Amino acid sequence: MKKYQFEVCANSVESCLAAQTGGANRVELCAGIPEGGTTPSYGEISMAREILDTTRLHVIIRPRGGDFLYSPIEVKTMLKDIEIARKLGVDGVVFGCLTANGEIDSTAMQELMLASQGLSVTFHRAFDVCCNPKEALEQIIELGCNRILTSGQQATAEQGIPLLKELQEQAAGRIILLAGCGVNENNIARIAQETGIQEFHFSARESIISEMKYKNESVSMGGTVHINEYERNVTTARRVMDTIQAISL
């Protein structure tokens, strides 16, 4: 049987613990999930490191939501975050930088790669909005990244199967492709079978209703952006196990 690796996108220490209980090989700890993931706090990283013993801890290094064209001050911020993550004992970091033309920003990436020496590095889904994925794959390999998190430049990895298959063939074992976005217990086996990819990234979250008895739902903490602040999504061990079992049986 193929040796698969499972990474859970964890939005909290609670989700990290559920991922470990469910059998995940590693987590990618993120804050700001509605923005696609931003750098988590010192406290979150520190606590995650304390509770994870059988599951590896990777941390996203992304100073803000939005695009992946970073200013010099933002790159310096990312370098500081990598330094902090290293001191806290993480196993890997996750980042990606693009130029204004949608190409890999080799200059910024080289700086970040130098700061990340000794850590596992994943180039994240900035890859999915680059202008030439096949050329970008070669550049990322040359930079020395360990893996690329990608949905095949589609809204979900399942929709991106055709490109994922082509990229897996092009990579030819020189870099790991990590299929992510919309991966779940219902499609993981199909994605694996049709692409040949052996690493998968998923959230396995369920909605948890707030235990608040008093609620003032007329006030939004996001100002004009209204979300349900009395409900949150958390990774559950059950869904992690279900997803792993869907491909392992």
Segments making up each domain of the chain, as ranges:
5-209+239-248
Q: What is the pLDDT of residue 34?
A: 86
Half-sphere exposure of 176 (CA within 13 A, CB side): 21
- In tens digits, the chain (249 residues) has pLDDT values of 469 999 999 999 999 999 999 999 999 999 999 889 999 999 999 999 999 999 999 999 999 999 999 999 999 999 999 999 999 999 999 999 999 999 999 999 999 999 999 999 999 999 999 999 999 999 999 999 999 999 999 999 999 999 999 999 999 999 999 999 999 999 999 999 999 999 999 999 999 898 899 988 878 777 666 677 888 899 999 999 999 999 976
- Token duo for residue 216: 């003032």
* Amino acid sitting at position 33: I
- Token duo for residue 103: 């190409």
Model pTM score: 0.94
Q: DSSP string of 124-177?
A: -GGGGG-S-HHHHHHHHHHHT-SEEEE-TTSSSTTTTHHHHHHHHHHHTTSSEE
Contacts of 87 (CB under 8 A, 6+ apart): none
As to burial, measured by CB atoms within 10 angstroms (0-12 exposed, 13-18 middle, 19+ buried), residue 144 is middle
Q: What is the pLDDT of residue 1?
A: 41
What is the C-alpha to C-alpha distance for residues 126 and 46, in angstroms, rounded to an integer? 26
- Residue 207, H or E segment: strand 205-209
What SS3 class is residue 241?
Answer: helix
What is the C-alpha to C-alpha distance for residues 29 and 38, in angstroms, rounded to an integer? 9
Describe the crossing of helices 42-51 and 72-87 by its angle, rounded to 10 degrees.
Answer: 30
Place of tokens 């550049």: 139
What is the C-alpha to C-alpha distance for residues 121 and 115, in angstroms, rounded to an integer? 11
Q: What is the CATH number of domain 5-209+239-248?
A: 3.20.20.380
Q: What is the pLDDT of residue 229?
A: 82
Residue 36's region, left for phi above 0, alpha for psi from -120 to 50, else beta, is: left
Rounded-to-10 torsion of CA 96, 98, 103, 107: -90
Strands 147-150 and 176-180: parallel
